Amino acid sequence: MAGHSPWKNIRHKKAAIDAKRGKIWSKCARAIIVAAKAGGGDIDTNLSLRYAIDDAKSQNMPKDTIEKAIKKGTGELGTENYESALYEGYGPGGVAMLLEILTNNRNRTAGELRLIFERAGGNLGASGCVAYMFATKGMLTIPKSAASEEQLMELALEAGAEDVQDAGEAWQVVCEPTAFVPVRQAIEKAGITPESAGLTQVPNMTVTCTGDAARKVLNLIDSLEDHDDVQKVHANLDIPEADLAELQG
């Protein structure tokens, strides 16, 4: 994914910090509740629920917490009402941002996100202002220690993937959403366990940021991800390797 995620790699490392784990689990629980409410509690018939549970497991969310969230979604343990929404905006340097939201009060969420954008020198935009710059894709991240590029390429492309890309410490397998399940099944059947897997938003074009501008965008992404209602932040950000190394240092 072009420019997909130098910042995501930084976020991945930060996500391991125990202080953030509770918030991450809370967001995972919301996604499970919404998926179970919409399609029932059976992962064999509810693909959205399967994705949400996989995300929760990748964050080491306890099994009983996952089961409790499913029961809340199906109404067995009362109900929690959240609705999904996409919010769009621009960060410093004209970086386009697409936010996946689960909220019980859209007006409150919009006001709080608008303030976060403005404080960072960006702005929350109208519906449709940046969504056209992104395409929904299946994405699987495979540690390089788990498979060679040649092995993974053969498995993934035969199962319907579009590409296998070098993402530094890992390979990233990209596919259309309809091919995600067969591609994942083929990879796992070969004894290869993805570090992460799910649907994501891939930018059609990227904006290169360096130095202070890159730092400002990363700080904005951190602030947005810290908001309880924000499930995922997608950005068409590209940071050159030299600048990325400096930011990580």
Angle between helices 211-225 and 6-14 (to 10 degrees): 50
The pLDDT of residue 248 is 65
pLDDT tens profile 79-130: 778 999 999 999 999 999 999 999 999 999 999 999 999 999 999 999 999 9
Q: Is 108 helix (H, G, I), strand (E, B) or coil?
A: helix
- The answer for residues whose C-beta is within 8 angstroms of residue 74's C-beta and 6 or more apart is 36, 37, 40, 41
pLDDT digits (tens, 9 = 90+) for 191-213: 999 988 888 999 999 999 888 99
Check residue 58 and give its pLDDT.
81
Instruction: For residue 208, give both structure tokens.
Output: 């290169």
> Are 80 and 74 spatial neighbours (Cβ–Cβ below 8 Å)?
no
Convert 198-232 to b/e letters by CB count within 10 Å (16 or more is b): bebbbbeebbebbeebbbbbbebbebbbebebbbb
pLDDT in tens, 135-191: 999 999 999 999 999 999 999 999 999 999 988 889 999 999 999 989 999 999 999
- Write the pLDDT tens digit of every residue in 5-55: 444 444 444 444 444 667 889 999 999 999 999 999 999 899 889 889 988
Q: Measured between alpha carbons, how far is 179 from 161 in angstroms, rounded to an integer?
A: 7
**Residue 69 — very low, low, confident or very high, per pLDDT cuts 50/70/90?**
very high
The answer to whether residue 2 scores a pLDDT higher than 90 is no
Q: Which domains does the chain have, with CATH numbers?
A: 6-74 (1.10.10.200), 83-132+205-242 (3.30.70.980), 133-203 (3.30.70.980)
Distance CA 164, CA 155 (A): 10
